[in-house]
Copies of this chain bind each other. A is one copy, B any other.
């Protein structure tokens, strides 16, 4: 079973060092410490385990080190920055593993950009040696890229010519859409195994600057200090510690403090339940800081994030998830109001951004989600985002009309999807008036009101409820899992596309196709044959 929690004390592949406002995150992959013993992580190549540490490091810098305003991403290996995803690992992996691996690495790189765009942490990739494939894609996620000019070190995306697959972590998209490398130059670059170095790399905007070896370290340090001056983060720590989640894991359940994931493997379904906060809750930034990682909003969403990641990787056959909430709706709304009122506080901002990223992880999880809204539930404000993110929501229209949902300011802006819109804006695409109207609604919505306002999919009455929701889940769980993945990936992201949605839509979908093709993964496919004797044999038909 793969788990996603780690801590710098236990990192095997990265070193995290702090010097005032600048942190340095150095890759130093241990060859023999891959997640599986089948491959050696040579030349700073990586597998999911390496990327889990990277994701953890970025998260901790955000929460535990508010004094950090710039991060240098570099390598401790001589003349090697990073050789990208480990090819032997990819070759031996199932299709599903490859897809989930790429999804997680993509989310991690987008989290770097999120920290830069919204948290005031700038990233400088200091490429002290060869930087290939996923290594360059990591650099592309940083704000600036410095490359050593030693006559040897180049940036490259050799996946297509060498392995017959695409660079799978946003490289093609970022090259043309973020760095705005001309598409014809990008075409040439992406088919050039040896990559591009020196002055040409700068001219084509593949990197920002190159420096001779003798000047490289100083130039990086100087630039990192400059980047660090542009932040609105606090000048000093401390931050808050992100302690272990310590879920109770049994055969069929992962139970956290506020989140429970119960698996029904025989039915290929699961129940995911989130508890509203209980007891007194912080209402000022000071109190939130004092509560630290035990503050419900952070704790519950960290648990949800962890549950989603475990589900994706460890339970591939569990395809249909019923989402429920329980507890005090008013307590959720009170926390939402606190969060909305104090978004200028660095920690509140980080918590809200974390909630946003977790909900995006939900959007991007290739499982069906149905929200069941029943009496006693707490689908209010930020928790109602789960119902909006679900593929459908079923709300019991109870005779007493006590079953309600509610909105908060958190539904009106901070928790945007990858497409740049809120879930309400995406739901009511082009109907901004209606979005404003539901947000202005006073008090909760009962089932009839929620149905009328289009906030839930269906509102069966007590007579129909049991049958309707049972049949819905059973029917869903019986459909082709691939068709459901494709369906959801198309319907969930109405409206504008962004670089982020392009990476998960266009790029990922093409990569998944290629990962399925005999030209890559057949016995004579390029990915299979690489590093072994013989050359790939292709079916030459273009499609």
Q: State the CA gap A393–B427 with chains docked (Å).
A: 43
Q: Check: A182 CB closer than 8 A to any chain B CB.
A: yes
Return the CB mask of A317-337 against B: 1 if under 8 Å, else 0. Answer: 111000000000000000000
Q: Once the chains bind, are A492 and B183 in contact (CB under 8 Å)?
A: yes
Query: Which chain B positions have C-beta within 8 A of A99?
Result: 543
A-B contact pairs, 26 of them (CB 8 A): A96-B542, A161-B479, A166-B483, A172-B490, A176-B490, A182-B427, A182-B428, A182-B454, A183-B427, A184-B390, A184-B457, A187-B392, A191-B487, A316-B540, A319-B542, A480-B536, A483-B514, A489-B506, A493-B506, A497-B497, A497-B506, A505-B505, A506-B509, A509-B509, A509-B512, A509-B513
Q: How large is the interface on A (under 10, 10 to 19, 20 to 34, 35 or more residues)?
A: 35 or more
Query: Which chain B positions have C-beta within 8 A of A317?
Result: 540-542
Q: Once the chains bind, are B487 and A166 in contact (CB under 8 Å)?
A: yes
Query: Which chain B positions have C-beta within 8 A of A536?
Result: 480
Q: Check: A519 CB closer than 8 A to any chain B CB.
A: yes
Q: State the CA gap A489–B505 with chains docked (Å).
A: 12
Q: Once the chains bind, are B502 and A497 in contact (CB under 8 Å)?
A: yes
Q: Check: A430 CB closer than 8 A to any chain B CB.
A: yes
Q: Check: A486 CB closer than 8 A to any chain B CB.
A: yes
Q: Check: A495 CB closer than 8 A to any chain B CB.
A: yes
Q: A164-B483, A482-B513 are in contact. List 17 more A-B contacts (CB 8 A).
A: A100-B543, A161-B483, A166-B486, A172-B490, A176-B490, A176-B494, A183-B426, A184-B390, A185-B457, A191-B479, A317-B542, A480-B536, A481-B538, A483-B520, A486-B513, A490-B507, A502-B505
Q: State the CA gap A190–B177 with chains docked (Å).
A: 32
Given contacts A172-B490, A191-B475, contact A482 B180 (CB under 8 A): no
Given contacts A454-B182, A507-B490, contact A165 B483 (CB under 8 A): yes
Q: How far is the CB of A431 from chain B (nearest CB, A)?
A: 8
A residues at B contact (CB < 8 Å): 95-96, 99-100, 159-161, 163-166, 172-173, 175-177, 180, 182-188, 190-191, 268, 316-319, 366-367, 390-393, 426-431, 454, 457-458, 475-476, 479-497, 501-502, 505-507, 509-514, 516-517, 519-520, 526, 536, 538-543
Residue of B nearest to A190 (CB): B487
Q: State the CA gap A515–B246 with chains docked (Å).
A: 42
Given contacts A475-B191, A491-B190, contact A481 B182 (CB under 8 A): no
For this chain, the copies found in one complex come to 2
Query: Which chain B positions have C-beta within 8 A of A164?
Result: 479-480, 482-483
Q: How far is the CB of A278 from chain B (nearest CB, A)?
A: 30
Q: Once the chains bind, are B166 and A541 in contact (CB under 8 Å)?
A: no
Q: Once the chains bind, are A391 and B184 in contact (CB under 8 Å)?
A: yes
Q: State the CA gap A519–B483 with chains docked (Å).
A: 9
Q: Once the chains bind, are B497 and A496 in contact (CB under 8 Å)?
A: yes
Residue of B nearest to A515 (CB): B513
Query: Which chain B positions have C-beta within 8 A of A430?
Result: 180
Query: Which chain B positions have C-beta within 8 A of A177?
Result: 429, 494-495
Q: How far is the CB of A361 from chain B (nearest CB, A)?
A: 15
Query: Which chain B positions have C-beta within 8 A of A458?
Result: 188
Question: Considering residues A100, A487, A520, which has the most beta carbons from chain B within 10 angstroms of its beta carbon?
Answer: A487
Q: State the CA gap A514–B510 with chains docked (Å).
A: 11
- B185, B454, B516, B540: which contacts A513 (Cβ < 8 A)? B516
Q: How far is the CB of A367 from chain B (nearest CB, A)?
A: 6
Given contacts A392-B188, A476-B191, A505-B505, contact A319 B540 (CB under 8 A): yes
Q: Once the chains bind, are B512 and A543 in contact (CB under 8 Å)?
A: yes
Q: Which 7 A-B pairs have the closest CB atoms?
A: A509-B509, A497-B497, A164-B480, A505-B506, A176-B494, A486-B510, A316-B541
Query: Which chain B positions have C-beta within 8 A of A182?
Result: 427-428, 454, 457
Q: State the CA gap A393–B187 with chains docked (Å).
A: 11
Q: How far is the CB of A82 from chain B (nearest CB, A)?
A: 21
Question: Considering residues A427, A507, A517, which has the most beta carbons from chain B within 10 angstroms of its beta carbon?
Answer: A517
Q: State the CA gap A435–B176 with chains docked (Å).
A: 17
Question: Considering residues A159, A454, A507, A542, which has the most beta carbons from chain B within 10 angstroms of its beta carbon?
Answer: A542
Q: State the CA gap A367–B100 with chains docked (Å).
A: 29
Given contacts A187-B488, A507-B490, A513-B509, contact A542 B391 (CB under 8 A): no
Q: State the CA gap A493–B541 with chains docked (Å).
A: 23
Q: State the CA gap A278–B381 with chains docked (Å).
A: 69
Query: Which chain B positions have C-beta within 8 A of A426?
Result: 183
Residue of B nearest to A99 (CB): B543
Q: State the CA gap A316–B502 with chains docked (Å).
A: 27
Query: Which chain B positions have C-beta within 8 A of A485?
Result: 510, 542-543
Q: State the CA gap A159–B488 with chains docked (Å).
A: 14
Query: Which chain B positions have C-beta within 8 A of A366?
Result: 542-543
Q: Once the chains bind, are A514 and B540 in contact (CB under 8 Å)?
A: no
Residue of B nearest to A367 (CB): B542
Q: State the CA gap A191–B316 with chains docked (Å).
A: 21
Query: Which chain B positions have C-beta within 8 A of A510?
Result: 485-486, 489-490, 509, 512
Given contacts A164-B479, A480-B520, contact A491 B427 (CB under 8 A): no
